Amino acid sequence: MTVKQISVFIENRPGRLAEFADIFSKNNINMRAMNIAETPDFGVLRIIVDDPFNAANVIKDAGYIASVTNVLAVAIPDQPGSLLSILTLIGENDINLEYTYAFPTREKDTAYMIMRVLENEKAIQVLSQNGVKLISQEELLKLY
Amino acid sequence: MGNYYQPEIECASREQIRAWQDERLVKQVKHVYDNVPYYRKKMEEKGVTPDDIKSTADLHKLPFITKDDLRDAYPYGLVAVPLKDCVRIHSTSGTTGRRVVAFYTQHDIDLWDDCCARAIMAAGGTNEDVVHVSYGFGLFTGGAGLNGGSHKVGALTIPMSSGNTDRQIQFMIDLESTIICCTPSYAAFLGESIAERGLKDQLKLKSGIFGAEAWTQEMRRDIENSLGIKAYDIYGLTEISGPGVAFECEAQTGMHINEDHFIAEIIDPETGEVLPEGEKGELVFTSITKEAFPLLRYRTKDICVLNREKCSCGRTHVKMSKPMGRSDDMLIVKGVNVFPSQIETVLLNKGYAANYQIIVDRVNNSDQIEVKVEMTPEMFSDSLTEITGKEKELVNALKAMLGIYAKVTLVAPKTIARSEGKAVRIIDNRKLY
């Protein structure tokens, strides 16, 4: 019950992200979610797409360094306090959250978050047992 | 054993080699004194005449000659034969100052080709091989030297020259090249390009002869793996002839200097004193068979060690270590001597590619050194913490090696200028002179 995230090495210089976005545009690839973690010299761009294998190939062919990681896509009721309850659950079970970012959809009552943890299996078990909904790569395709 | 081009010379007794050197040196000194006014003046200034040079034991009495002399005497000032007897010139890449031009008679080219033929046969070459010469042709000696050597061996020679990597690979596959000759950085680039195209299985290469640039043992392993070959080192310089002044045999414990043509000395670069056997210092060459452009005691600026221990390959000529640095490549940063090869060793040990660039700057009167390193798939991760952790390890390892802090900047693959000729490894922005 994970989704595939592609991470890409991008230099932290003017125009680099645009160059990258141009490749997606030319190959007709749509990003579902994205996030950048940066240092003064470079950034790690993390993206979620519908067809990660195709996108990873396009990225590598264009000469970028990229990797594919399994991450959690967590459904969160769109109301105050719901993120807190999930974070509490993760923290209490001693699962370290490496990073997280929002995943916009057109669903009215649910927000989605991408969460990167070291122990996916343990996190899936804890969250599922506590009624938190996770979505798979296939379900991702149906979300709009 | 047995891969010799001229076994009677390459495996001659030490006494025989010494006898050749004594006789040829005496003759050469006279030739130079009689025909090159620039040299005669230098010798007179030092109070030496050809009569003082009776054997190699007297070599130290002669004045040194340096690149500055070559520039002063440009273009014809050091030519020792009438120009009508010269058939060709070659020239150094001339990145700093005036170019240096070297002259050759047909005899000089023949002997130079012989030296390269020895190198090719030492790398396993025979007349059944297909020798792919990807060194540049033209003023650069690389292409012409290996091309000539390959002809002497009788191998089928492909004078590819550098550049156009796709065509290089196509020829390599179609014509079944067995020996590749080029700069090590281009060999590494070819290896990467072949891996990207998934063509390694279609290669017939068995060995490679690489020189004209500094490279490390780690880089040798990378090239050997990516091209599926045994990689041999070759050494030379335009001033002395070109590639083939020294070459590696299968023992790979140093490069045999062709002592029947070149006398090697190791000196203290500061004082000019000849150093005892086995000590590290600046390599100095005297060419004893060259007619057109003979140099006596030419300071190469390469720092290395000579080794006269018997070699398992059967050759008796002295071996020089791979140059450990060049006195003019050596950077002094914060008063510390920094050799690019030290940085390369650290990068390879830590799993990065050998493609790097060193940028030295002076900010607020203090030296700063930055090493640009290309990101590799192995070093990459989706976790910034992991990448910066590895970056920090690299900074620590560089500090341990160099003794000073160097900033590390990770850059995108293939962004450091490389390639088809010599890689630009050092950018010194300090403008100290």
**DSSP letter for each residue of B36-95:** -HHHHHHHHHHT--GGG--SGGGGGGSPPB-HHHHHHTTTTTT--S-GGGEEEEEE----
Are B298 and B406 in a shared domain?
Answer: no
**Residue B328 pLDDT:** 65
CATH superfamily ID and name for A3-69? VC0802-like (3.30.2130.10)
**Residue B423 pLDDT:** 62
Are B57 and B24 in a shared domain?
Answer: yes
- Which residues from chain B sit within 8 angstroms of residue A98, using beta carbons? 383, 385
**ipTM reported for the complex, 2 dp:** 0.89
Pairing of strands B86-91, B101-105: antiparallel
Question: How many domains in chain B?
Answer: 2
Q: How many angstroms away from the CA of B329 is the closest CA of chain A? A: 27
Instruction: Tell me if B76 is assigned to some domain.
Output: yes
Using the predicted structure, report yes or no on whether residue A141 has a pLDDT greater than 50: yes
Prior bond of B50 cis (ω within 30°) = no
Mean pLDDT across chain A: 93
Taking CB atoms and an 8 Å limit, are B375 and A37 in contact across chains?
no
Instruction: Tell me if B433 is assigned to some domain.
Output: no
Instruction: Tell me if B195 is assigned to some domain.
Output: yes
Cβ contacts below 8 Å, chain A against chain B, sum to 51
Name the residue of chain A whose CA is nearest to B388's CA. Answer: A39
Are B159 and B272 in a shared domain?
Answer: yes
CATH code assigned at B150: 3.40.50.12780
Are B337 and B191 in a shared domain?
Answer: no
**Residue B95 pLDDT:** 47
Q: How many angstroms away from the CA of A139 is the closest CA of chain B? A: 23
Q: Find the domain containing B115 and state its range.
A: 1-326
Are B78 and B30 in a shared domain?
Answer: yes
Instruction: Tell me if B237 is assigned to some domain.
Output: yes
Taking CB atoms and an 8 Å limit, are B415 and A63 in contact across chains?
no
Q: What is the sign of the dihedral through the CA atoms of B300, B305, B311 and B312?
A: negative
Q: Which of A109-113, A138-142, B71-75, B222-226 has the lowest mean pLDDT?
A: A138-142
Pairing of strands B281-287, B262-267: antiparallel
Q: In chain A, which residues fall in CATH 3.30.70.260?
A: 72-142
How far apart CA A137 and CA A132 sit, in angstroms, is 17
How far apart CA B103 and CA B91 sit, in angstroms, is 9
DSSP-based three-state secondary structure for A76: strand
Are B422 and B307 in a shared domain?
Answer: no
> 10 Å Cβ neighbour count for A30?
10
Are B192 and B258 in a shared domain?
Answer: yes
Domain boundary among B326, B348, B372: B326
DSSP-based three-state secondary structure for B119: helix
Helices first, then strands: H and E counts in chain A: 5, 6
Residues of A engaging B, defined by a Cβ cutoff of 8 Å: 5, 7, 9-11, 37-39, 41-42, 44, 46, 63-67, 69, 98-99, 116
Are B263 and B316 in a shared domain?
Answer: yes
- Which residues from chain B sit within 8 angstroms of residue A66, using beta carbons? 380
Name the residue of chain A whose CA is nearest to B374's CA. Answer: A65
CATH code assigned at B365: 3.30.300.30
Instruction: Residue B134: name the closest of B173, B165, B111 by CA.
Output: B165
B308-345: pLDDT as tens digits: 998 999 999 999 998 877 666 677 788 777 778 788 88
Mutant choice from B382, B383, B410, B414 vs A, greatest count of A C-beta within 10 A: B382
Domain boundary among B302, B326, B350: B326
Q: Which residue has the tokens 């009677």?
A: B8
Are B361 and B406 in a shared domain?
Answer: yes
Residues of chain B with pLDDT under 50: 1, 95-96, 419
Domain boundary among B301, B326, B351: B326
What single DSSP character describes residue B276? P
Are B229 and B363 in a shared domain?
Answer: no
Residues of B engaging A, defined by a Cβ cutoff of 8 Å: 375-377, 380-385, 387-388, 409-415
Name the residue of chain A whose CA is nearest to B411's CA. Answer: A11
Triad B106, B70, B338: Cα angle to 5°: 115
Instruction: Residue B268: name the closest of B251, B280, B257 by CA.
Output: B280
Q: What is the sign of the dihedral through the CA atoms of A124, A129, A133 and A137?
A: positive
Q: Which of B380, B383, B411 sits opposite A11 (nearest CB)?
A: B411
Mutant choice from A35, A41, A69 vs B, greatest count of B C-beta within 10 A: A41
Are B235 and B90 in a shared domain?
Answer: yes
Token representation of residue B126: 């025979």
What single DSSP character describes residue B130? E
Are B284 and B342 in a shared domain?
Answer: no
Q: In chain A, which residues fall in CATH 3.30.2130.10?
A: 3-69
Q: How many angstroms away from the CA of A37 is the closest CA of chain B? A: 7
| CATH number 3.30.70.260 given to A72-142 | yes
The highest-confidence range among A103-112, A127-136, B107-116, B418-427, by mean pLDDT, is: B107-116
**Residue A107 pLDDT:** 82
Instruction: Residue B146: name the closest of B244, B236, B66, B2 by CA.
Output: B244
**B122: number of CA atoms within 13 Å, CB side?**
35
